[in-house]
Structure 1
Amino acid sequence: MELVAETLRAQPAEKRLNLFERYLTIWVGLCMALGVWLGRTAPQMIEWLRRMELGEGSQVNLPIALLIWVMIIPMMMKVDFGSIGQVGRRPRGLLVTLFVNWIVKPFSMAAIAWLFFRVIFSPWIVPNDADQYIAGCIILAAAPCTAMVFVWSYLTDGDPAYTLVQVSVNDLIMLVLFAPIVGWLVSGASSLSVPFIVLLYSVLAFIVIPLTIGVGARLWMVRRFGRTWFEDRLLPGLAPLTILALLAMLVLIFAFQADNLTGKWAHVLMIAVPILIQVYFNSALAYGLMQRLGVEHAVAAPGALIGASNFFELAVATAIALFGPGSPAALATVVGVLVEVPVMLSVCALCNRTRHWFPTPVVASR
Structure 2
Amino acid sequence: MQKKMNFFEKYLSIWVALCILAGVFVGRFFPAVPETLSKFEYAHVSLPIAVLIWLMIYPMMLKIDFTTIKKVKREPKGLVITLIVNWLIKPFSMYIISYFFLKIAFANFLPASVAEEYIAGAVLLGAAPCTAMVFVWSYLTDGDPVYTLVQVAVNDIVIFFAFAPIVSFLLKIGNVSVPFDTLFFSVVIYVLLPLLAAILTRKQVIKSKGMNYLNKILIPKLSKISTIGLLLTLIILFSFQGEVIMRNYLHIALISVPLITQTFLIFAIGYLWSYFWKVPHSIASPAALIGASNFFELSVAVAISLFGLSSGAVLATVVGVLVEVPVMLSLVSISNATRAVFQKHKIELKPQEVED
Q: Does structure 2 retain, via aligned residues, the 8 Å contact 1:256–1:326?
A: yes
How far residue 141 of structure 1 moved from its aligned partner, in angstroms, is 0.6
Q: Does structure 2 retain, via aligned residues, the 8 Å contact 1:260–1:331?
A: no
How far residue 287 of structure 1 moved from its aligned partner, in angstroms, is 0.4
SS of 1:286's equivalent in the other structure is helix
**d(CA) in 2 for partners of 1:238 and 1:269?**
33
**d(CA) in 1 for partners of 2:127 and 2:88?**
10
**d(CA) in 2 for partners of 1:362 and 1:141?**
31
Q: Alignment partner for residue 137 of structure 1, among 111, 122, 135?
A: 122
Unaligned runs of 5+ in 2: 352-356
Unaligned runs of 5+ in 1: 1-12
1:14 maps to a residue whose letter is Q
**d(CA) in 2 for partners of 1:27 and 1:131?**
28
**d(CA) in 2 for partners of 1:363 and 1:144?**
29
Cα deviation code 1:226-249 (max 9, x no counterpart)? 111211222122222111111111
Structure 1 residue runs of 4+, over 6 Å off?
none
Q: Alignment partner for residue 278 of structure 2, among 280, 283, 294?
A: 294
Partner of 1:4: none
- Write out aligned runs for 1:1-366 (5 A): 13-53=1-41, 55=42, 58-188=43-173, 190-359=174-343, 361=348
How far residue 89 of structure 1 moved from its aligned partner, in angstroms, is 2.2
Partner of 2:354: none
Q: What's the RMSD between the two structures over aligned residues? A: 1.4
SS of 1:260's equivalent in the other structure is helix
1:127 maps to a residue whose letter is A
Partner of 1:6: none
1:29 maps to a residue whose letter is A
How far residue 283 of structure 1 moved from its aligned partner, in angstroms, is 0.6
- C-alpha distance 285-52 of structure 1, shift in aligned 2 (>3 A): same
**d(CA) in 1 for partners of 2:205 and 2:336?**
36
Aligned length: 348
Cα deviation code 1:28-76 (max 9, x no counterpart)? 11111111111111112212212322x3xx2111111101111211110
How far residue 302 of structure 1 moved from its aligned partner, in angstroms, is 0.9
How far residue 144 of structure 1 moved from its aligned partner, in angstroms, is 0.8
How far residue 304 of structure 1 moved from its aligned partner, in angstroms, is 1.2
Cα deviation code 1:255-282 (max 9, x no counterpart)? 1211222211111111111111101000
SS of 2:45's equivalent in the other structure is coil
**d(CA) in 1 for partners of 2:225 and 2:150?**
25
SS of 1:143's equivalent in the other structure is coil
**d(CA) in 2 for partners of 1:217 and 1:184?**
35
- C-alpha distance 36-90 of structure 1, shift in aligned 2 (>3 A): same
SS of 2:142's equivalent in the other structure is coil
**d(CA) in 2 for partners of 1:298 and 1:263?**
46
Cα deviation code 1:132-168 (max 9, x no counterpart)? 1111110111011111111111111111000000000
1:17 maps to a residue whose letter is M
Cα deviation code 1:92-126 (max 9, x no counterpart)? 00110111100000000111111112211112211
Percent of residue pairs identical: 47
How far residue 363 of structure 1 moved from its aligned partner, in angstroms, is 9.9
**d(CA) in 2 for partners of 1:117 and 1:99?**
26
SS of 1:257's equivalent in the other structure is helix
SS of 1:99's equivalent in the other structure is helix
